[in-house]
Amino acid sequence: MGIWDELMRQPGFSPLQAVFGAVMYFAWTAAYATVIYRGFRDRTYGVPWPCIVLNVA
């Protein structure tokens, strides 16, 4: 039994949540990759240090 079957058996879980979660994962990954690329290109920090350190989410 795969992880998808496990998720589908959870009460209150819908496939839309899985799709939304996957889209948000790839969107944030693309955003961070863009910030890192821009930081290297401009030879500066892409994200302020306090924001990185205080990221508890």
In a domain, 3, yes or no: no
Kindly state whether residue 38 falls inside one of the protein's structural domains: yes
Q: pLDDT tens-digit profile of 10-56? A: 888 888 988 999 999 999 999 989 988 999 999 988 877 777 788 76
Query: What is the pTM assigned to this prediction?
Result: 0.64
Domain that holds residue 36: 15-53
SS3 string, the chain, reads CCHHHHHHCCCCCCHHHHHHHHHHHHHHHHHHHHHHHHHHHHCCCCCCHHHHHCCCC
Query: Tell me: the pLDDT tens digits for 39-51?
Result: 999 998 887 777 7
Residue 24 lies in a domain: yes
3-state class percentages of the chain: helix first, strand second, coil last, to nearest 5? 70, 0, 30
**Distance, CA of 39 to chain centre:** 19
**Total domain count, the chain:** 1
Does the residue 7 lie in any domain?
Answer: no
